[in-house]
Structure 1
Amino acid sequence: MQSMGENCPFEFNFDEKTFKVGDTVSYRVTGGLAGFPFVGTLLEVHQDHVIISADPNDPASRMRGTRESRPAVEESEVG
């Protein structure tokens, strides 16, 4: 568990206007996982959505998310 004095090990991009491939983002999942924060890497950036990977070393880990400061991913996309 992280103590109060430690820094977060991730550097997030929360500015959807500057998203680029390789950025680390905090994303949300709808449904039963709503409210929990998740960390992912942007694989693709499009005008109206992004493709996020929870594990950039796993080619099957691809989820479509909204293009906003904390992208939203449909629970059905999470595998």
Structure 2
Amino acid sequence: MSAAMKLWSRLVATVTGATLALVVPAHAWAASTGVTDIAVEAARSRRRGGFGFFGLFGALCCLFVVAAIVLAVVMVGRNRRRK
């Protein structure tokens, strides 16, 4: 198997694992009782306009998660080359 194929398969596995690690608990939390009522009420009473604090917090959190995944892939790649 070529080096590019190995890198691609590792990258896909890392992204898939990270996605499942985030999506599965979020889905389990959302499927619990009472959450749908809260989500509907939040959607109805949501203020229009502005980015808000949680939008900024969500963007920063997303950037940190992506940076951590990229850092993990780079570190694994460097450790493989040193041997």
Shorter-chain TM-score: which interval? under 0.3
More strand by share: 1
The structure showing larger relative contact order (alpha-carbon pairs under 8 Å, at least 6 residues apart) is 2
**TM-score, normalised relative to structure 1:** 0.21
Q: Which has the larger radius of gyration?
A: 2
More helix by share: 2
